[in-house]
Amino acid sequence: MSTTDAVTFWDGVHAARPAAGSPQPNARLTETITGLPPGDALDLGCGDGGDALWLADQGWHVTAADISAVAVERLAALARSHGLADRVIAVRHDLHESFPPGGFDLICAHYLQTPFDLDRTTVLRSAAHALRPDGRLLVVDHGSAAPWSWNQDPDARYPSPHEVAAGIDLDPATWTVERADVPRRIATGPGGRTAEVTDHVLLIRRTA
């Protein structure tokens, strides 16, 4: 499927739901990052912007990237309304074609899963190389499908955090896996619906 198809799809996903006034950060982000000194962060696939806004509120300077112009424009407006425009740069970026430039102390990739062509392994390897020394890459994937997910394929397979780490194939002399587990949580979806879901969490730190 083409990049045009992907843009149309994700613009449609975001346009079909009301803009969030106060989007919430992902639970795996807040539990992992709380306590770290703020620096420069990159949010890959920022979506509604809950992670970017939360990080900015904690003192981080955030580059928030998404393939959807709808998502990016909404986040830019939210950052302004929350008084965080000086800490959040929202950019439309197609990771299928290129990776955002710069060096970062934190890179987040929450649920960077799509029905369209995307070489995730290359994207995540690029992210690891974009980390500054002592920087962290947090990858959180779906380990199950919520009832409201766009992906209801009963044959969908969810690679484990260890499989994702093995696929990235980073030199252990330079990068260290600090966390690789599959916790569960109660998620809240549209209309307040709740369901138990599984997350696949991978945290990698650049040590040199």
Alpha-helix runs per DSSP H in 99-170: 120-129, 161-168
Domain membership flag for residue 191 = yes
Domain membership flag for residue 78 = yes
The predicted-structure confidence for 157-185, as pLDDT tens digits, reads as follows: 889 999 999 999 999 999 999 999 999 98
pTM of this structure: 0.90
Give percent of the chain above pLDDT 90.
70
pLDDT score, position 1: 46
| 128: pLDDT strictly greater than 50 | yes
Domain range enclosing 120: 3-14+26-130+143-206
Q: How many domains does the chain contain in total?
A: 1
Domain membership flag for residue 136 = no
Query: Are 105 and 133 contacting, i.e. CB atoms less than 8 angstroms apart?
Result: no
Angle between helices 161-168 and 120-129 (to 10 degrees): 70
Token pair 């949580």 in the structure block, residue = 185
Angle between helices 3-15 and 69-81 (to 10 degrees): 40
Domain membership flag for residue 19 = no
DSSP 29: H
Domain membership flag for residue 21 = no
| 200: pLDDT strictly greater than 90 | yes
